[in-house]
Amino acid sequence: MNRLLTAAVKLAAILALAAVAAACSDFARGFREGLAEPADGPPEVVRAIEKHNQTGYDLIEEGKYDEGIGWLWEAVKFVYEVHPEYETLEDEVRSKELFDSPFNNMSWAYNELGDYEESLYWIDRALLLLPNTEIEYINKGNALYGLNRYDEAVDYYDLALEENEDSLNALYGKGLIYYDKGYYSGAADMFNRCLSIDSSDYDAAEMLLYSFLGREQEEDALAFAEKWLGDYPDRFDAYRLKSIALEHAGEFEEAEAFALQAAEAFPGLTEAQELPGRLYYDSGYYGEAVAYFKSRLASHPSESGSAVWLIRSYAAMQDYAAAEEAYHQAARSNPDHAELAEAMGDMYLDQTQYAEAAHYYGLAAEWEPYNEIYATAALEALYYGNRIDRCAASGASMRNKMSYSGNIAWYTGLCQLEKGDYESAVISFEEAVAINPDDYASLAQLAYAHLLTGNDEEAAEFASASLELYDSEATALYVEQELKERKRPLSKRVEAFFRDQYLYQETSSEWEKAFASLTEAASPQEIAEAVERAKKQDDPFTFVIYGEEYDQLSSLSGGESVTFREEGDLLYLSVSTFDATTDNRFIEILDSVKNPERKTLVLDLRGNAGGLSDSANRMLDALLPDYVTSTMIYRDGSTESYYSDSSSLAFKKIYVLVDEGTASAAELVTLGLKTYLPNVTIIGRDTYGKGVGQVVFEDRSAKMMVFVVNFYWNVKQTNIASTRIQPDIYVTGSSIDSFMKPVREGR
């Protein structure tokens, strides 16, 4: 099923572009006919429009899209010189083909780039200039199809069919939409109509085959493929069609013999030579695939396709070292080859080595900057690898090139949420929703981002829209519940928060009495006093901040929590707290270190009273391979574990500096490193011993935060609440030199 879907997506992309290209060939004839018509305007301007439009068209035909767009834009400016009213035109007017042509060609160019929003903008400008043509309707249908606006796209394909009932591009476009929507019978009807007009159209033939397979009609698919091969026995794509049918029919031996026959029939065609190896790979015979592609590369060492499949075959066999070697060998003959980098990215992603995957996907995206698949994969790996700053920055850059991509906007928005940049997240999710209005997940995240920025009305609107599409969307349900909570009196909300979250509730007999005395109009001070009475007496970690203290805390937030310096082979990092940005900055610094395995890391956590456990666990993730970094244990006995992925930054030696002020999340990081890595030395004095974590309630309008002890944490079943962390090397002094002396001595 995965292979079928992948092939279908690939075909859809290729054939949609083919449809546009065919349409533009027709349009070129219309362009020349338009020149024969008398055109108003100064002759030199008319000639300039003709020259720039034709040059732009030719460049796009050559695949030089950016350069072609530059020429077309000059043609458009000359059109505006003759007809300045066209620049702000809102109603249809009759015009000459010459003036219409640059707008339509701009739409085509952006469609070729995959920038469907821009393509739609320019075709809409073209459609204001009458008369409209079959080609223009097709181009608008293609732009709408690229934006997943299927119903609207069908309407424009139908308009093209009204102009020409045998419009291959319109029929094909409708077929793709029906296929994408799972309406395989309707898709088959469209592709059959295409073949009745041009029986040699391989694109339509292949999509008809997939339409049969979509209906699980493998025998019909095979019969059709055999007939098509009989009609076109000298075409390799006819062999490819039958190979697909045989593979899906499960006839491996017959498929193998046929693939070898195809390779023998087309000795000079690379794709034909790769067919047997691809069959071995798709059928799970990875050893045979390796042998086949190695043999192929022995005689054709620069053949990139065989190298890609050799890498994938090694990866499937979990021979990762061989895959790396195959990549580097192929890269010498094929530098800057995106598919080679993609294969490596896929290999590391499957191992949850997200940092390595992000590196290779990033290379692929760099080498093919308009490829949405590579760009999305790079962002996904950065996001899951907790490279949040890089993800947000890369996503913003990619969105400038691919404003049509909902996936890019989605991952960019998620990273902006993680960074606490809620206003930017709103913009990103708005883009995702504009591209796909039925994307209930993006609608829910848009609602959540509005909730975090205090835009309750917008949060309610988008949460409702998400739930109309999918009534179990968890984020949207949370937003609706939180909005209901916000309408309740502050005192009641804090009471409910304390009741639901407080870890020591069973040992605090006064909490019900403490909150019972509060009125609905209770002030933040009265609420703080109630929390103080309600909590366990020896609990110093449950408290309320409000008023001036809240303002002071807010003014301190956003400061630099991580500072660092390098001294030769020594990297010194001081972490003062664990806030929402600490882990991002920490990981960013570590990623910038060259050859970390040759260097010593000094992590200074003295005086660090803790903070967010999420931040601490992500920092551990960067330094640890595949482990359970910590486990949270809640009041009801339920647990939640944090896991590190397989990627890790390995240092020659790690020293952690601690003192009696090192607590909570700082202790978690210290214990996690010491527990799992053999090269960690702790220097200083016994830590505070805070083996619990807090959850925070905040009301910005009331300027109040309630910190409540919510869970115990442990690392590999060790908790330090009563024992503290004892250093390997004790230090009595307080100066940094005292703590660094054992480091410099190499102890």
Give me the mean pLDDT over the 55-68 stretch: 92
Residue ranges of alpha helices (H) inside 83-167 are 97-113, 116-127, 134-146, 150-163
Lowest mean pLDDT of 253-267, 308-322, 650-664, 698-712, name the range.
Answer: 698-712
Question: Hey, which of 308-312, 385-389, 632-636 has the most confident mean pLDDT?
Answer: 308-312
- Alpha-carbon span 383 to 391, nearest angstrom: 6
The answer to whether 298 and 273 have CB atoms below 8 angstroms apart is: no
What average pLDDT does range 389-410 have in this prediction? Answer: 85
Q: Which two tokens stand for residue 525?
A: 């001070």
Q: How far is CA 476 from CA 440, 454, 472, in A?
A: 9, 16, 8
Cα Rg, the chain, nearest whole Å: 32
Tell me the pLDDT of the chain averaged across its residues: 90
* Range with lowest mean pLDDT among 221-235, 263-277, 377-391, 403-417: 403-417
* 8-state DSSP, 478: H
Average the pLDDT over 517-539 and give the result.
91
DSSP, res 726: P
Q: Phi first, then psi: what are they for 682, rounded to 5°?
A: -100, 130
> Within 10 Å of residue 471's Cβ, how many Cβ atoms?
10
Residue 9: pLDDT band by 50, 70, 90 thresholds?
A: very low
Could you read off the pLDDT of 587-616 as tens digits, one per residue? 999 999 999 999 999 999 999 998 889 999
CA count, 13 A, side-chain hemisphere, 58 = 6
Structural domains of the chain ordered from first start: 1-147 (1.25.40.10), 490-539 (no CATH), 556-744 (3.90.226.10)
With left for phi above 0 and alpha for psi between -120 and 50, is residue 346 left, alpha or beta?
alpha
% of the chain surpassing 90 pLDDT: 80
Q: Per-residue pLDDT for 351 more than 60?
A: yes
pLDDT grade for 14, boundaries at 50, 70 and 90: very low
Please name the residue ranges forming H helices in 250-303.
252-265, 270-282, 286-299
Alpha carbons within 13 angstroms on the beta-carbon side of residue 319 total 14
Cβ atoms of 721 and 689 within 8 Å: the answer is yes
Please say if the pLDDT value at position 714 is more than 70: yes
Q: Which range has the worst mean pLDDT, 110-114, 202-206, 291-295?
A: 110-114
* 345 Cβ contact partners less than 8 Å away, ≥ 6 residues apart: 357, 358, 359, 360, 361, 364, 377, 378, 381
Both tokens of 3, joined, read: 């292979």
pLDDT at 511 over 80: no
Distance of CA 697 to the CA centre of its chain: 30
> Is the pLDDT score of 710 beyond 80?
yes
Distance between first and last Cα of the chain: 57
User: Which two three-digit tokens encode residue 511?
Assistant: 């909490």
Measured CA to CA, the distance from residue 91 to residue 124 in angstroms comes to: 11
Whether the Cβ atoms of residue 530 and residue 515 lie closer than 8 Å to each other: yes
CA distance 302 to 300: 6
Residues 6 or more apart in contact with residue 552 via CB below 8 angstroms: none
Binned at pLDDT 50, 70 and 90, residue 580 comes out as confident
User: Max CA-CA distance within the chain?
Assistant: 95
The span from the CA of 216 to the CA of 281, in Å, is 22
pLDDT for the residue numbered 509: 65
Tell me, what's the pLDDT at 8? Answer: 30
Enter the pTM of the model: 0.79
CB 706 within 8 A of CB 531: yes
Question: In whole angstroms, what is the distance from residue 50 CA to residue 102 CA?
Answer: 9
Phi, psi of 451 (to 5 degrees): -60, -45
